C-alpha cells in the first residue's frame, strides 16, 4: 500500500490555508441588517426565497429563509429562550396557540406595515398577518384510483386498498383530516377513539402511515401511494412537476388553516422582520405567489384570484370552510400522538 507522507512544510501550508479560508470576508450585506425567517420547506421555501428576497432587499434588508416545519420552529425557539434562532415564524393557528402559551411570539405594531390595510380584518391578527389560507382535502392519482368522494370512501371503497397514505398526529394536515373523520365515524371532532378503531378495523391503512406530507409527496412521485391528505399547494407542486395529481374537496367540507407570520420574542432585527412581513402581504409578492407551482391563496384584497385557485375556493367561500378548534385539539394532541404511534407500530 502506498504510504501517506506529509512534511512539516506541507502541514504548515494546509493549516495556513484553512486559517485563511476561515478569515475570508463575508459577502456584501445590506446596510439595514438582516432577518432570519422560518418558512415551511419545499414550495414555501422556494417561493419566499425567490419572491421576497428582492423585495426585502429593496427595503434595505437581507432576508435569510430558513426551512423548518412549524413544530420544529417551535422546538428550536423554545430551546433558546432570549436568543431565538429565527426573527419570524410561519405557522398555523395550531402552533400559534402553543407559541402564545409559551410566550415566544409578540404582538405586532400594524403601523409599521404599509400593506396592512390591504388585508381583510380576518387576516389582521394581533400576533401577525395571515399570508395565505391553506385549503385541505384529498390528493389522488387519476391514473391509479377513481376520484374519491370523501374520507368515508377511502375506507369503504376497495379501489383504495393499500394505496392511501396518512401521517401521524404531529402533522396539522393529518390532524385536520382526522377531526373530519372523527365527525363522520364518531361523535365529534375530538372523538379520536372512533378514528383509532377505524384504523384497527382497516389495518391496510396503517401500512401507509409516514412522518410528513413532504414524505408522502415523495412516495406519490414514485407511485408508491395514490392518495394522501393534502393542501391545494401540495397538489399544485405535484402538477408543476408533471405528475398526475388532482385535488378533491371532501363531501363533508374542506378543512382550512390560515398561515400567519409571527414576530419572535427577543428578535434582534425587528425592523427587518417588519420589512419581511410587509413584503409577504404586498400585492407584488402575492401576485407572484398565487401562480403555479405555489398557488397560494392571496390574502391581499387587491390581488385577483387565478382560475386555478378559484376552482378550489373563492373569497366568498372562505367563511364556509372548516376551521378546527385548535385549542381543544392541542389539549389532547400529545396523547393522540402517542396512541396513534403505538397503534401504527402494531
Partner 1 sequence: MKASGFPYVIPMLLLSVAFFATPLAVLIGFSFIGPEGVGFHNYARFLGDAFNYRVLINTAKLGLQTIVSTTLLGVPIALLYWHSGKTARQVIIFLTLIPMLTSNVVRTFAWIVILGRQGPISETFVALGLAERPFTLMSTELGLVMAMCQIDLPLIILPLIAILSRIPVTYTEAAQVSGAGPWRILVTVLLPMMLPGLLAGWILVFASTSASFVTQAVIGGARNIYVPQLIYREVGTLFDWPMASAIAVVLLLSTGILLVAMTMISRHRRLVGHA
34 lines the binding site for partner 1 (CB under 8 A): no
210 lines the binding site for partner 1 (CB under 8 A): yes
* Cis geometry, peptide bond prior to residue 293 (ω within 30 degrees of 0): yes
Is 72 within 8 Å of 254 (Cβ atoms)? no
In the set 103, 224, 304, 325, which binds partner 1 (CB under 8 A)?
A: 224
Question: Do you know the residue count of the chain?
Answer: 346
- Which CB atom, from 209 or from 285, has the smaller least distance to partner 1? 209
What does the longest C-alpha to C-alpha distance in the chain come to?
Answer: 77
The set of cell numbers assigned to 111 is: 403601523
CB of 125 to partner 1, least distance (A): 23
- For residue 264, the surrounding DSSP H or E stretch is strand 256-264
- Which CB atom, from 77 or from 309, has the smaller least distance to partner 1? 77
345 lines the binding site for partner 1 (CB under 8 A): yes
Nearest CA to 189 among 339, 343, 326, 341?
A: 326
Is 336 within 8 Å of 199 (Cβ atoms)? no
Q: Which residues contact 163 (CB under 8 A, 6 or more apart)?
A: 144, 145, 208, 225, 226, 227
Contacts to partner 1 from residues 225-284, by CB under 8 A = none
Q: What character string, x for contact with partner 1 (CB under 8 A) and - otherwise, covers 169-198?
A: -x----------------------------
In the set 72, 103, 120, 325, which binds partner 1 (CB under 8 A)?
A: 72
How far is the first Cα of the chain from the last one, in angstroms, to the nearest whole number?
51
Contacts to partner 1 from residues 76-105, by CB under 8 A = 78, 98
Strand, helix or coil for residue 88? strand
Instruction: Using the rule CB under 8 A, give the single segment among 10-18, 105-113, 129-137, 204-212 that binds partner 1.
Output: 204-212
Residue with cell 433558546: 80
- Which CB atom, from 276 or from 326, has the smaller least distance to partner 1? 326
Contacts to partner 1 from residues 134-173, by CB under 8 A = 167-168, 170
Residues forming the site for partner 1 (CB under 8 A): 1-2, 71-72, 74-75, 78, 98, 167-168, 170, 206-207, 209-211, 215, 218-219, 222-224, 334, 337, 341-342, 344-346
Amino acid at each position: 500500500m502506498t504510504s501517506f507522507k506529509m512534511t512539516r512544510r506541507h502541514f504548515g501550508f494546509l493549516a495556513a490555508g484553512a486559517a485563511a479560508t476561515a478569515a475570508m470576508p463575508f459577502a456584501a450585506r445590506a446596510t439595514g441588517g438582516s432577518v432570519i425567517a422560518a418558512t415551511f420547506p419545499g414550495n414555501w421555501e422556494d417561493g419566499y426565497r425567490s419572491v421576497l428576497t428582492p423585495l426585502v432587499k429593496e427595503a434595505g434588508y437581507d432576508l435569510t429563509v430558513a426551512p423548518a416545519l412549524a413544530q420544529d420552529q417551535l422546538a428550536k425557539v423554545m430551546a433558546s429562550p432570549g436568543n431565538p434562532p429565527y426573527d419570524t415564524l410561519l405557522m398555523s393557528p395550531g402552533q400559534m396557540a402553543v407559541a402564545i402559551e409559551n410566550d415566544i411570539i409578540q404582538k405586532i405594531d400594524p403601523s409599521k406595515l404599509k400593506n396592512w390595510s390591504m388585508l381583510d380584518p380576518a387576516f389582521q391578527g394581533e400576533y401577525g398577518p395571515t399570508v395565505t389560507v391553506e385549503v385541505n382535502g384529498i390528493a389522488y392519482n387519476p391514473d391509479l384510483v377513481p376520484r374519491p368522494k370523501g374520507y368515508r370512501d377511502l375506507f369503504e371503497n376497495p379501489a383504495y386498498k393499500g394505496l392511501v397514505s396518512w401521517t401521524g398526529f404531529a402533522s396539522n394536515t393529518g390532524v385536520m383530516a382526522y377531526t373530519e373523520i372523527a365527525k363522520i365515524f364518531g361523535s365529534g371532532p375530538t372523538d379520536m377513539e372512533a378514528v383509532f378503531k377505524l384504523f384497527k378495523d382497516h389495518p391496510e391503512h396503517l401500512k401507509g402511515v409516514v412522518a410528513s406530507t413532504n414524505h408522502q409527496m415523495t412516495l406519490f412521485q414514485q407511485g408508491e401511494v395514490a392518495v394522501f391528505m393534502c393542501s391545494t399547494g401540495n397538489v399544485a407542486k405535484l402538477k408543476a412537476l408533471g405528475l398526475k395529481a388532482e385535488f378533491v374537496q371532501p363531501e363533508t367540507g374542506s378543512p382550512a388553516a390560515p398561515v400567519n407570520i409571527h414576530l419572535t420574542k427577543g428578535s434582534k432585527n425587528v425592523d427587518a422582520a417588519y420589512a419581511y412581513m410587509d413584503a409577504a402581504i404586498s400585492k407584488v409578492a402575492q401576485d407572484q405567489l398565487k401562480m403555479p407551482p405555489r398557488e397560494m391563496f392571496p390574502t391581499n384584497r387587491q390581488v385577483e384570484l387565478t382560475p386555478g385557485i378559484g376552482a378550489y375556493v373563492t373569497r366568498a367561500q372562505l367563511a364556509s370552510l372548516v376551521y378546527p378548534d385548535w385549542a381543544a385539539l392541542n389539549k389532547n394532541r400529545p396523547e393522540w400522538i402517542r396512541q396513534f404511534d403505538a397503534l401504527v407500530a402494531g
